[in-house]
Amino acid sequence: MLYVYAISDSPDRPEVLGLQDAALSASGGKGLFAIWSEHEEPRLGADEAALLKHERVVEALLEKGPVLPMRFGSWMDDPAAVLEMLAERRSDFELGLEQVRGAVELGVRALVHEEPAERVPALAGADRPGTAYMLARLNDEKRSEAIAAHIHEPLRALSRASTSRKTSLSGSVNTAYLVDRDDVDPFRAAVQKLDQAVEDAAIVCTGPWPPYSFTPAGSTP
């Protein structure tokens, strides 16, 4: 069985080992390759060591050029199956590689502070415990959406693309941005400025990461 780490435009492999210290190999051609390692066991546990090995390979590939990371646990039967996948999805993968070329993923998380009770307006029907709870949660969600929109506008100008993760009722807003490598520092500075300006939320930036959030959908075999 083959464990597939990523799609690249080059067969060059980094000088790192894969899961269970297996050597890396490449299959493909004409500017489209899959990087994989071979294993006797078709499945490996999702423990911390395996996750770190997967990430280390993808990050090392990112240093060599554009990369479309596969999700952890991407298995294929043999090199022929890998070549078939590349042929069937060549157009998607080529477009994806062009989109992420020269860019990395940065994550922005805004933890919206709980609104003080005295600032929450009295609402009709809020005298019943269940109703009051749902109205309060709805109010929190609307605040989170408003804060997310305020944060997103200046950051969108510094990124190629973005994708929002679910805005939870707990008040956490998460967005992934695809950012040119040369714009990473200005992007981080913009996040820091927003954190200082927005009183109702704590805003943090994570990364840079490989562009997991911008890999074509369905990339897991």
Sequential DSSP letters for 138-152: HHHHHHHHHHHHHHH
Strands 32-38 and 2-8: antiparallel
- Tokens 């070549």 sit at which residue? 83
pLDDT (tens digit per residue) in 88-115: 999 999 999 999 999 999 999 988 776 6
pLDDT (tens digit per residue) in 50-62: 999 999 999 999 9
Q: What mean pLDDT do residues 62-67 have?
A: 95
Q: How far apart are CA 218 and CA 35, in angstroms?
A: 17
Task: Give the least confident one: 20-29, 68-77, 161-170.
Answer: 161-170
Give the CATH architecture of domain 103-213.
2-Layer Sandwich (3.30)
Per-residue pLDDT, 174:
87
For residue 127, CA distances in Å to 118, 123, 148, 196 come to 15, 9, 30, 36
Closest CA to 76 of 100, 99, 42, 53: 42
Q: Computed from CA positions of residues 74, 78, 83, 89, in that sequence, does the dihedral angle turn out positive or negative?
A: negative
Task: Give the least confident one: 84-98, 178-192, 196-210.
Answer: 196-210
Which of the four pLDDT bands, split at 50, 70 and 90, describes residue 43? low
Which of the four pLDDT bands, split at 50, 70 and 90, describes residue 7? very high
> Is this structure's pTM higher than 0.95?
no
Per-residue pLDDT, 177:
97
Domain boundaries, given as residue ranges, for the chain = 2-88, 103-213
Which residues are registered as beta bridge partners of 212? none
Residue 101: CB partners within 8 Å, gap ≥ 6? 65, 66
Average pLDDT, the chain: 85
- Show the tokens assigned to 136: 């309060």
